[in-house]
Amino acid sequence: PEFILKSGNVTYLDLSQNTLFGKIPDTLPEKLPNLRYLNLSINAFSGPIPASLGKLTKLQDLRMAANNLTGGVPEFLGSMPQLRILELGDNQLGGPIPPVLGQLQMLQRLDIKNSGLSSTLPSQLGNLKNLIFFELSLNQLSGGLPPEFAGMRAMRYFGISTNNLTGEIPPVLFTSWPELISFQVQNNSLTGKIPPELGKASKLNILYLFTNKFTGSIPAELGELENLTELDLSVNSLTGPIPSSFGNLKQLTKLALFFNNLTGVIPPEIGNMTALQSLDVNTNSLHGELPATITALRSLQYLAVFDNHMSGTIPADLGKGLALQHVSFTNNSFSGELPRHICDGFALDHLTANYNNFTGALPPCLKNCTALVRVRLEENHFTGDISEAFGVHPKLVYLDVSGNKLTGELSSAWGQCINLTLLHLDGNRISGGIPAAFGSMTSLKDLNLAGNNLTGGIPPVLGNIRVFNLNLSHNSFSGPIPASLSNNSKLQKVDFSGNMLDGTIPVAISKLDALILLDLSKNRLSGEIPSELGNLAQLQILLDLSSNSLSGAIPPNLEKLITLQRLNLSHNELSGSIPAGFSRMSSLESVDFSYNRLTGSIPSGNVFQNASASAYVGNSGLCGDVQGLTPCDISSTGSSSGHHKRVVIATVVSVVGVVLLLAVVTCIILLCRR
């Protein structure tokens, strides 16, 4: 604003967090020569930083972060000896870091993060002996960390994450920075071993080395960092054990070691880390049991040990009196029961223990844990009544307990899980019917109840839910297929195989425009195959109507299923020929027409000609050039055709003869009358 430029002796100017735009005025130093503090951050200024700002010889604090500035970091900044704070981050400056910035001997804070910088780190910055705060994250900087940075002896907060840095971390940094509090170099390509000298940075609170290419073992010296609150070494190539010295880190709240190649056991000394809130060691090669001392971590909220080689039982008191929020034991060899108190604090939102050897009943506290969002317990040996294990979970999004030995009946309470998108209960021993309340789960996208002992009819209300995948296979459902399923235009996969469904295939199924798989095999369906199934243009993976009592001809309209890969119509009572137009179904990879009453030649095309004899067996009238089939007799066909022609000629001659005879007789009669 113009009135500011007329204010004369202003020393402090803060215009941050306004809606100012345009270029920064060149006349600013001329009008306000005594400025010591200038803050233009969080506006919409554009263009380059004016060179005239170099005339502000008294300026100590320059803040221009979060604008749209371009044109690089100007070199004149290196000639402003009074600067103590320089903040240019969150712009589009681009270009290199000027080495002349190393002349700013008074500089305490340098922040040029997220500004498109693309150069190596000038070693001259090591001359900034008073620098406390260094932030150059989120750029495209390359090269290594200069050992000359050891000259930044006042350094407390060092951040250069998310760049393209390579090489090793100079160990000398940690013997030269006694005041270091935060060291964040994550998301680069740094290599080599983690320097043991890090243990000398005794005031360190935060150490982030994740997502680099570090190798070797974790230095035991890190256990000397008694003030450390956050340690993240994840996503590297670290090997060896977790140091038992970590038990000394009694201020540590976060320990992340996931996605490495660590071996050995979780040391029992971990129970001494009494401030720990988050422990994540997933995706390593750890073995042994979860130490009983883990129950001493009274602040623990997040525990992830999935994708390891761990075994044994989980400490029975884990979770007792705690407020665990996230627990994952997935893909190990744990056995025994899940701890009864795992959800004592009713804060648990994620529980995954799939692919283990757990047994027994599910923890009773689960039923009243309304915070649950994601539960994966599949492929274990859990037993007990499923209706006793779960209740009403309004936040639940994902539940998979498939592949266990759960019993009982489905509760109507599932209908109140209004945010549930996936429900997999397949491969258990659940009985009874599907409650009509399932029609209230309007967020459901994937419903799998296959491989249970469910009975009764398929509720028509299932047509009300917008599932993509509906699998009710291998149960004892009976009655007709509800035509109401056609109400769900989102349905992609339908598998009702292995039940006792009867009646005809509803024509309405042809309205399921998104369907890519339809399996109605091994039921008691009768009648003809609806010709309208040929209108399922997206049907791609499978059409299986085998092992029913379907009759009549195969509809030629099915040839329109040009993306279909597998077709099985075997074990029915179909008659007539296989439509010749099927040869145009170019995506077909396998077919099966066995055990019907089909006749005639098989269609041309590789999938038909190269199919095994088992695809056609049980159809005595089929012929073709396929092993196991009788070749179609061309000569017989020709002879039959010739015979047919002779019969036609003889018939024509006979008719003509009779006509001529009648004409002669008529003429004689007329002559006699005269």
**Domain annotation for the chain: domains and CATH numbers:** 1-165 (3.80.10.10)
User: In the prediction, which pLDDT does 9 show?
Assistant: 83
DSSP H stretches of helix in 302-409: 386-389
Residue 175 · residue 147 · CB < 8 Å? no
Residue 106 CB burial class (10 angstroms; 0-12, 13-18, ≥19): middle
pLDDT at 352: 98
Radius of gyration of the chain (CA): 39
Q: How many CA atoms lie within 13 A of 380 on its CB side?
A: 31
Ranges assigned E (strand) in 194-308? 206-208, 215-217, 230-232, 237-240, 254-256, 261-262, 278-280, 287-288, 302-304
Distance CA(420)–CA(418), nearest Å, equals 6
Q: What is the pLDDT of residue 48?
A: 98
Local structure of 49: helix, strand or coil: coil
Contact 143, 168 (CB under 8 A): no
82-85, long-range: CB < 8 A, 24+ apart: 82/36, 82/57, 82/58, 82/106, 83/59, 83/107, 84/60, 84/108, 84/109, 85/60, 85/61, 85/109
pLDDT at 651: 43
Q: What 8-state DSSP symbol labels residue 527?
A: E
* pLDDT averages per 10-residue partition of the chain, 674 residues: 69 95 92 94 97 95 98 96 98 98 98 98 98 99 98 99 99 98 99 98 98 99 98 99 98 99 98 98 98 97 99 96 95 98 93 98 94 98 96 96 98 94 98 96 97 97 95 98 95 98 97 97 98 97 98 98 98 97 95 97 92 94 89 55 39 47 52 49
Retrieve residue 163's tokens: 């760049």
Q: Where are the beta strands (DSSP E) in 243-301?
A: 254-256, 261-262, 278-280, 287-288
pLDDT of residue 654: 53
As beta bridge partners, residue 409 has 431
pLDDT of residue 626: 86
Task: Look at residue 667 in the predicted model and tell me its pLDDT.
Answer: 47
Strands 157-159 and 164-165: unpaired
- Say what the pLDDT of residue 656 is: 46
CA 358-363-364 angle, to 5 degrees, is 155
Say which residue the tokens 């599907």 belong to.
434
Looking at residue 647, the DSSP 8-state letter turns out to be H
Which tokens hold the place of 572?
A: 């029915």
pLDDT of amino acid 589: 96
Q: What is the pTM of this model?
A: 0.89
| Nearest Cα residue to 544 out of 592, 588, 584 | 592
Does residue 596 contact residue 602 with C-beta atoms inside 8 Å?
no
> Which two structure tokens, joined as six digits, stand for 217?
């073992």
Query: Which residues neighbour 602 within 8 Å (Cβ) at sequence distance 6 or greater?
Result: 578, 608, 609, 616, 622, 623, 624, 626, 629
User: Can you say how many angstroms the Cα of residue 121 is from the centroid of all Cα atoms in its chain?
Assistant: 37
Q: What angle do CA 434, 436, 442 make, to 5 degrees?
A: 105
